[in-house]
Structure 1
Amino acid sequence: MMSRWITWRALVFVAVFLLFAATLRDRFDQWIAETDLPPLIQETSVEVLGRNGALLRAYTVADGRWRLKATLDHVDPRYLEMLIAFEDKRFYGHNGVDPLAMLRAAAQAVWNGRIVSGASTLTMQVARLLEDGSTGRWEGKFRQIRVALALERQLSKEEILTLYVNRAPFGGNLEGVRAASRAYFDKPATRLTTAQAALLVAIPQSPERRRPDLHSGEVQAARERVLDRLVDGKLLTTEEAEVAKLGSIPHQRYGFPKLAPHLSDRAVATIPLLEAHSLTIDSRLQQQLEALAQSALRGQNLSMQVAILLADHRTGEILAWVGSEAYENSNRRGFVDMTQALRSPGSTLKPLVYGLAFDQGLAHPETLIDDRPTAFGAYFPQNFDGVFRGTLPIRKALQLSLNIPVVSVTEALGPAQLVAGLKRAGIEPVIPGGQPGLAVALGGVGVTLMDLVTLYAGLAESGQTRELYWRQGEAPERNGHRFLSEKSAWYVGDILSDVPPPLNAPAGRLAYKTGTSYGHRDAWAIGYDGRYVAGVWMGRADGTSVPGAFGGELAAPILFEAFARLNKPPVPLSPPPAAALTVAHSELPTPLKYFKARDAAFEEPAGGPELAFPPDGAALQGMDIFVAKVRDGEAPFTWLLNGAPVRIQERAREVELPNPSKGFVTLSVIDAQGRSARSEVFVQ
C-alpha cells in the first residue's frame, strides 16, 4: 500500500510540475509574442549610381549619418564568416540567446572576480542597435534578450545578419559595413582583404575608441585579437593571420563620391522617395571630364566657369554631365548647373540655318554667296573680325562662321522657319520679345547647353530628333522625327568635319562648330563623330562679359580633350547618302550656283563689275599706293583688301589704294547692286 501511495504522489507531482512548466512556457511565449519591437526599417542614405552600378553620389540620412543600404550580397563573404566566428560562433544554432555563452561568461566572472567576456549574440547586438540601447544595466540586458528572442521568431538568420551589417557603428557618423568600407578603404565592401575584414569586425565593439583615423594603436591591437581568435577557431592559419597583422591601418577617412553632383541633385529632386537612382552616367568618364573641367579653368579668372555634356547619340544616353567646376565654390557659382542655364548660342545655330536652306533647295554647300557690308532694314550685322571676304562658297562661309551670309540665308528662309526648325529638333528656344528676328541666326535667342547638344545629336543622327536622357530605363519615345533631310544633315556634317581643329588636335576627328555670344559672354564648342556628341560652354555664371573670350580658343580645345577622354578610336561619320550631290561649283545646276541675298533669288550675275587692273595673278612692285581700275558695274563702289574695306562709296572707276603688305593679296570690288569681282595679286 505504501508503495502505491508513493507512486500516486509522484505522479501527482510530475503532473503538477508539467502543468506548471507548460503554464510557464505559455506565459514565456506570450511574453515574447507581446514584445514591442523597435522599427526594423531604418532610413538609409539615398544613392545615385552610374551605368555600371558604381556609386556616383550618396546623401546622409536626416541625422547626418552615412548609412548605405546593404544586402548580404553587398558584403564580402569572408567578412561575414569572420564576424560570426568572432562574435557568435553558434549564431545559426541558437534562438537569439546562447545559454552556453552565458554560462561561460558567468563562470569566468565568478572565477576572476570581474567580467572577462560578454555573452551577447549577434541577435542581441542587433536588438541593442535597433533601440540604440545600453549594455551596461541589467534592465537593458534583459530588454535586449527579450527583443532578440522576438526577432528570432519573426526574422530569418539572414535577415538578422542583414540588419547588423546595415546598423553596426564604425565611429563618427558611420553606420554599416558599406559606409565603413567606403570611408576607411575607399572601396566597396564586396572585396575586402583579410586585414580589412578583421578591422571591420573589431571596430563596432568600441567604435569611438577604435576609430582608425583617430586611434590607430587601439584598433590595431583590437584587430590582432580578432585575428588570433580566428586562428584559434581554425578559420585562419597562423601564416594568414601574421600577414594580415602587417596590413596598414587607415589614418584618415576618405570622402564619399560626389560625381555628377548637379545631375544627382536633379535625380533626387525628381523622385525624392526613391532609395537608389540608376543613371546612364559612365563613372570613369564622368571623373575624367570633371578633372578636365578643373584643368580648363587653371589660370583663368576666378569667376570663370565651364560646363560639359557628352552623350551617345545613337542611344540618346548621357554619359557625362559636368554642370560646373567646383560644385561647392561660391566664387565661381559652382552650385549653378550651367548645362541648364539659358544663354545666347552665338554662332552655333548657323549649321541649322544652312541645313534648312539645303532642305528647301535654296542652296548647296558649293553655292557662292556674298560676304559684303549689307543692311537688312535697320539691322546691320558685322563679322566678328570686322573683315569681309567677298564672294565665296557657302561651305567656306560656314567654316569661317561669317555673319553676313548666314543672315542673308535666314532672311530668305524667314526667322520663323529657323525657330520652327529648332522646335522640330526638340528644342524650345526662348525668344526675346516673343517675335523672332534675323538676329536669331547669330545667337539672339535663349537656349541651354543641353539644347545645343540635343540639336547636334540630331544632326549626327542624319537629321532625326535624338532626345537625350540620363535615367536608366527612361529612354524617350519621341525620337526619330525628322527635322532635316538625311542629305542636308550630311552636307552640314561634311562641312563641319573640315573645320580646322585647335592646335595639336587631330584633324577630321569631329564635325564641330564654335560660337561666341554678343559681348563675349559665352564661349561654345559643340561637335560629334559617328557615335558620340558633346558640348562645352565657358563663361561666367552671372552672365558678365569676359573680354577676349572666343569659343574657338577657349571651348574648342576642351571639346577635343573630352572626346580624347573616351579612350576609344574615332568613329567615322556616315558616308554620303544617295541623294547627296557631291560635285564642284562648276557642275551645279544654274539656279544653285549663286545666292542673291536680298530677295533670295538665284541668278548668274550679269553686267557686274570687272577688275580692269590689276588683273588676276598680277605681280605688283612694293610702293606706298597703287592704282586699281574697274569697268562695268554700277557706282558707287566699295573696295576691299583681304576682306577689309579700304574705300567706300567711291564713284570714280579709278582709285588709289594703300599698298598692302608683301605676299598674296585679295582685291575685291562691290558695286551698288551688290555684284562683285576680285583678283588675287602678289606684292613683291
Structure 2
Amino acid sequence: MPRQLFKDPTATVITSSNNELLGAMIAKDGQWRFPHNDSIPDKFKTCIIQFEDEYFYKHPGFNPVSIFKALRDNISSGDVKRGGSTLTQQVVRLSRKGQSRTYFEKFKELILATRLEFRASKEKILSYYSSNAPFGGNVVGLDAASWRYFNREANELSWAESATLAVLPNAPSLIYPGKNQERLLTKRNTLLKKLLQNKIIDSLTYDLSIAEELPQKPYALPQIAPHLLQKVTQSYYGKRIKTTLKKSLQEQTNRIVSNHYNQLSQNEIYNIAVLVLDVKTRKVLAYVGNSPTDNEHQKDVDVIDKPRSTGSILKPFLYAAMLDAGDILPNTLVADVPSQFGSYNPENFDKEYDGAVPASRALSRSLNVPAVRLLQEFGLDRFHHYLEALKLKDLKYNANHYGLSLILGGAESNLWDLCKSYAALSSTLNHFNDTSSEYFTNEFCEPTFLADNDIDFGKKTSEKTLFDAASIYLTYESLKNVNRPEGDENWEFFDSSKQIAWKTGTSFGFRDAWAIGTTKDYVIGVWVGNADGEGRPGLVGVQTAAPILFDVFDVLPNSNWFSKPFDEMQEVDICTKSGYRASVNCEEKEQKFIQLSGLKTQPCPYHVLVHLDRNEQYQVNSSCEDLGNITHKTWFVLPPLMEYYYKSKNPFYKSLPQFRSDCLGDNAISMQFIYPKENNSIFLPKDFDGKRNELILKIAHSKPETIVFWYINETFVGTTKDIHDMAIIPKQGKHWITVVDEFGNEAKRQIEISQ
C-alpha cells in the first residue's frame, strides 16, 4: 500500500475569504479534478453509501456476502453482471488505475482494502472516494462534479442532485448528463425510492425530488477573479487556496469594470485594472487584473503588477516628504511661472500659469510646474531616496537617470506597489492615532491575498518609519480637495458622501490614466489604458480612471475621516496670503495646525513694510516727505515674474506703488524674461502669403511704467513702456536678446531661430 494513494495532478482552485469558489484552472492532464477535500456533505454521503455500500460502516474493507452474490450471478450468466466491491475496494481500484479487472486483481484489491481500513478512518476513505471518483467526461471528484453539473457547492445540493451524483461513478462512460437520460433518471429515482423506504427522507421530499430535472450539460466553472487565479497558479499550482477576496465586492467590481469597458472601448481604450486593499489588515479585497476584452487586446495580461508610466501619481509623496522635512508648510506659496531647467521645459496640463499658488492647491490641482520646481528645491537624490524606502520595485535606476521628469511620469511603477504605498501611509496615520502616538517598524510591508497570512506590522516605536503622521494627514487634507469627476463635483454638500483622499495621474502621450484613493479603511487603485502602450485622446486620469474609482468606493461601507494627529502638530499663526508662518508684517493671520517640523520654516518673505505718502499713492522717504506725513504700511509683494501671472488670476492683488519722482535713494528694481526661455530653439512658421510670423518677446518689470530699451545682438530695435512686449522677425541662427531699463538695469537671453 503506497503512502500516497493518489498522485494525479489536480486543478488550481481559489476561494473567497468565506470559502466561496472564485475560479479554477484545469489540471495538467486535462481533468477537472479538484484538490483532495476531507469534507463531504451529509446528503451525498448518505446517498453514496445507500447506493454503493450499505454496510460500509460495518465491514473490514470487503463484504463477503456481496462477493458471494456477485460470483454466483456472474458465473450463472457467464458474464460480469454484478460487482461486489465495497467503497474501500473502489478507492483502492481508483488508486491503481489501469489494472485489468480480473479475479486475481480483485483479490489484490481485497487485501489492500483491509490494509487501508487499518490505516485510514471510514470518513477518510469516503473523502478519498468523493475526491477521486469519475463523474463522466473529464470531471473527477464530487467538488468538480457539483460545479460542472449544478453550478454550485456540493453542500448546497438537494437530495435529488446528491442522488444524481451518487449514481454517476457507477457507470460514468454510459451515464452522462445530456445522454442516456432515461437510464440516469431510473437509477436516480431508484436510489431516492430506497431513501424513502429506509425513512431517510419523507414522502414530500421524495415527491419533490423525483420531480426535479436532470442536468443537461456541464456548466463552465466560475471565473470571478481569473487574473488572481493566474498569479496563485504560479506559486500554488494544483492546490486549493483560500484568498482574502470578498466575493460580493469582487463581483460588483467586475460589473463596474465591465460597464466602463463598454464605454471606453468606443474610444479604443481596452484595458482596465482595479485593486482594493483593506488598510487595517493589508489584505486584498478585490483584484481585477484586466477588463473583459478580447485576445487581440491582451485580455489575459494581469496589468496590476506591470510597470507603467506614473504620470502625476507620485506628487503626493513629494508633498509629504517636503512637509516631513520642514521645507514647506501646507499652504506655502510656490511659484507657478514658465520655467526651464536646462533642456527640460515642463508645462501645466492647461498650458496656463497662476504666478504663485499654495502648495496644497498645487497638489490638489496637480500642477506640473510647481511640482518640478519643488522637486528641484527639495533635491532629486533626496526624493529618490524616499521612493526607494517605499519599495517601488520598478524604480530600477538612479536619480540622475530620471531627472526632474521623475515627478511627472519619467519613472515607472505598478498598481500593486502604488496601492501598497498609499495603504502604508493610511495605516501609519491610523496606528499613530490608535496607539499612544507610536509608529510600527514594518509599516511598509507587502499586502497579501492569502487568507491564512496575517501581516506583522513589527514593533512599536516612537520613531517615524518614513513620513511623520502630521505630514501624511496634511497631505490627505489636500488630496481630499481634488476636484472630483463630472457628476460628483458637489460631494461635500451631501451628508452621506464619502471623504476620500485621492489623486489622478496621466502619462505623457495619454498612454496611462491612474486614480488612487484612500479612506481610513480602504485603498482603491485604478489603471486605465492599452496594454500595448498605445495612447488615445481623452485617456486622462480624471476622465477615465476616476469615475471607476468612485463607483467602487460607492459599493464599500462609509469610513470616518482620519483623526488629526495632534501630538505631531502645533497651532501657530499663519499668514493668510502667503501660507508661511506669519511675520510681524503680515496683516491677515489665522491660527493653523502645522507639522512640528514646519516650525523651522522661515517667516513670510512676501510682506514688507513700505512708506507711503498721506494718500498712499506713492512710496516716499525722508528725502522727499516730512516724517509726520509718511504712512507706514505692510504690503504683499511678489517677484516680478510671479506677479505678472498672479495678477491675471487674482484681481484684488495690488502692485507696490512706485516712488514719487522727487524722492532720492536706491529703489529695488528687477525684471525677468517671460518669453523666450533660456536657450530656446524657436521655429517661426509662415503665413499663407509666405511671410514669416513675428516673434513676440516679453519681460516682467517690477515698475511697469519704466522705459525699457530692446537690443538684438547689440542692435537697438525699440523701446516699451507699461506693457513690455516687443515684436521682431530675426534671421536664422543664434541671437542675444538684451533689455536695459532707464535706470541701467540689464537682462539677457540667448535664442536660436531655426527654419
Instruction: Tell me the TM-score range normalised by the shorter chain.
Output: 0.7 to 0.9
Q: Which residue of 2 aligns with 1:23?
A: none
Q: Which residue of 2 aligns with 1:381?
A: 346
Q: Of the candidates 677, 699, 703, which is equivalent to residue 649 of structure 1?
A: 699
Change (3 A) 1:430 1:155: closer
Q: Which residue of 1 aligns with 2:35?
A: 69
State whether structure 2 residue 207 is matched by structure 1 residue 242.
yes
State whether structure 2 residue 459 is matched by structure 1 residue 484.
no
In 2, Cα distance between the equivalents of 1:86 and 1:576? 68
Q: Of the candidates 473, 496, 499, which is equivalent to residue 482 of structure 2?
A: 499
In 2, Cα distance between the equivalents of 1:673 and 1:349? 39
In 1, Cα distance between the equivalents of 2:157 and 2:342? 73
Q: Of the candidates 335, 350, 361, which is equivalent to residue 396 of structure 1?
A: 361
SS of equivalent residue, structure 2 residue 183: helix
Q: Which residue of 1 aligns with 2:605?
A: 603
Q: Of the candidates 159, 162, 179, which is equivalent to residue 124 of structure 2?
A: 159
Q: CA deviation at 1:258?
A: 3.1
In 2, Cα distance between the equivalents of 1:313 and 1:182? 34
Between 1:128-137 and 1:341-350, the stretch displaced more is 128-137
State whether structure 2 residue 279 is matched by structure 1 residue 305.
no
The answer (yes or no) to whether the contact 2:520–2:560 under 8 Å persists in 1 is yes
In 2, Cα distance between the equivalents of 1:582 and 1:53? 53
Change (3 A) 1:397 1:581: farther
Q: Which residue of 2 aligns with 1:512?
A: 502
Q: Of the candidates 285, 302, 305, which is equivalent to residue 249 of structure 2?
A: 285
In 2, Cα distance between the equivalents of 1:603 and 1:157? 85
SS of equivalent residue, structure 1 residue 373: coil
Amino acid across the alignment from 1:496: L
The answer (yes or no) to whether the contact 2:338–2:674 under 8 Å persists in 1 is no
State whether structure 2 residue 209 is matched by structure 1 residue 231.
no
Change (3 A) 1:360 1:147: closer
The answer (yes or no) to whether the contact 1:430–1:447 under 8 Å persists in 2 is no
Between the aligned residues of both structures, percent identity stands at: 29
Change (3 A) 1:647 1:151: same
- The 5 Å alignment of 1:427-442 reads 427-428=392-393, 429-431=395-397, 435-442=401-408
State whether structure 2 residue 566 is matched by structure 1 residue 577.
yes
The answer (yes or no) to whether the contact 1:340–1:449 under 8 Å persists in 2 is yes
SS of equivalent residue, structure 2 residue 421: helix
SS of equivalent residue, structure 2 residue 529: strand
- The 5 Å alignment of 1:29-40 reads 40=5
Q: Which residue of 2 aligns with 1:473?
A: 453
State whether structure 2 residue 516 is matched by structure 1 residue 550.
no
The answer (yes or no) to whether the contact 1:169–1:176 under 8 Å persists in 2 is yes
In 2, Cα distance between the equivalents of 1:258 and 1:431? 38
1:21-47 CA distances to partner (integer Å, 9 max, x unpaired)?
Answer: xxxxxxxxxxxxxxx669613333333
State whether structure 2 residue 581 is matched by structure 1 residue 589.
yes
In 2, Cα distance between the equivalents of 1:501 and 1:608? 33
In 1, Cα distance between the equivalents of 2:214 and 2:648? 83
Q: CA RMSD in A?
A: 3.7
In 1, Cα distance between the equivalents of 2:671 and 2:71? 116
SS of equivalent residue, structure 1 residue 512: strand
Q: Of the candidates 422, 428, 435, which is equivalent to residue 456 of structure 1?
A: 422
Q: Of the candidates 49, 54, 74, which is equivalent to residue 15 of structure 2?
A: 49
In 1, Cα distance between the equivalents of 2:123 and 2:532? 54
Amino acid across the alignment from 2:605: E
In 2, Cα distance between the equivalents of 1:60 and 1:436? 44
The answer (yes or no) to whether the contact 2:13–2:24 under 8 Å persists in 1 is yes
SS of equivalent residue, structure 1 residue 202: helix
Amino acid across the alignment from 2:29: D
Q: CA deviation at 1:638?
A: 5.2
Q: CA deviation at 1:99?
A: 2.6
The answer (yes or no) to whether the contact 2:582–2:603 under 8 Å persists in 1 is no
Q: Which residue of 2 aligns with 1:423?
A: 388
Change (3 A) 1:108 1:607: closer
In 2, Cα distance between the equivalents of 1:354 and 1:110? 89
Change (3 A) 1:653 1:394: farther
Change (3 A) 1:125 1:563: same
Q: Which residue of 2 aligns with 1:220?
A: 185
1:570-610 CA distances to partner (integer Å, 9 max, x unpaired)?
Answer: 3322235340558764284247999xxxxx99622658568
The answer (yes or no) to whether the contact 1:431–1:444 under 8 Å persists in 2 is no
In 1, Cα distance between the equivalents of 2:723 and 2:34? 81
State whether structure 2 residue 281 is matched by structure 1 residue 315.
yes
Change (3 A) 1:405 1:537: same
Q: Which residue of 1 aligns with 2:89?
A: 124
Q: Which residue of 2 aligns with 1:537?
A: 527
Q: CA deviation at 1:654?
A: 3.2
Change (3 A) 1:119 1:234: farther
In 1, Cα distance between the equivalents of 2:425 and 2:3? 58
Change (3 A) 1:405 1:636: closer
State whether structure 2 residue 54 is matched by structure 1 residue 89.
yes
The answer (yes or no) to whether the contact 2:354–2:649 under 8 Å persists in 1 is no
The answer (yes or no) to whether the contact 2:253–2:286 under 8 Å persists in 1 is yes
Q: CA deviation at 1:178?
A: 1.2
In 1, Cα distance between the equivalents of 2:500 and 2:299? 29
SS of equivalent residue, structure 1 residue 348: coil
Between 1:497-506 and 1:145-154, the stretch displaced more is 145-154
In 1, Cα distance between the equivalents of 2:487 and 2:316? 25
Q: CA deviation at 1:88?
A: 1.4
Q: CA deviation at 1:57?
A: 3.2
Q: Which residue of 2 aligns with 1:211?
A: 176
- The 5 Å alignment of 1:98-113 reads 98-105=63-70
1:210-265 CA distances to partner (integer Å, 9 max, x unpaired)?
Answer: 22244444322221111122223333333321211112322232222334333333
1:599-647 CA distances to partner (integer Å, 9 max, x unpaired)?
Answer: x996226585689x999869xxxxxxxxx999686446759xxxxxx98
- The aligned length equals 602
Q: Which residue of 1 aligns with 2:689?
A: none
The answer (yes or no) to whether the contact 1:347–1:441 under 8 Å persists in 2 is yes
SS of equivalent residue, structure 2 residue 524: strand
Q: Of the candidates 276, 291, 295, which is equivalent to residue 325 of structure 1?
A: 291
Q: CA deviation at 1:341?
A: 1.4
SS of equivalent residue, structure 2 residue 5: coil
Amino acid across the alignment from 2:485: P
The answer (yes or no) to whether the contact 1:86–1:230 under 8 Å persists in 2 is no
In 2, Cα distance between the equivalents of 1:150 and 1:278? 34
Q: CA deviation at 1:370?
A: 2.4
Q: Which residue of 2 aligns with 1:359?
A: 324
In 1, Cα distance between the equivalents of 2:222 and 2:299? 17
SS of equivalent residue, structure 2 residue 273: strand
In 2, Cα distance between the equivalents of 1:142 and 1:525? 68
Between 1:100-109 and 1:312-321, the stretch displaced more is 100-109
In 1, Cα distance between the equivalents of 2:673 and 2:110? 103
Unaligned runs of 5+ in 2: 430-438, 493-497, 590-601, 607-635, 660-668, 676-695, 701-707, 709-719, 726-740, 748-755
Q: CA deviation at 1:414?
A: 0.6
Amino acid across the alignment from 1:558: I
Amino acid across the alignment from 1:466: F
Between 1:253-262 and 1:184-193, the stretch displaced more is 253-262
The answer (yes or no) to whether the contact 2:280–2:521 under 8 Å persists in 1 is yes
Unaligned runs of 5+ in 1: 1-35, 595-599, 619-627, 640-645, 658-670, 675-684
Change (3 A) 1:352 1:581: farther
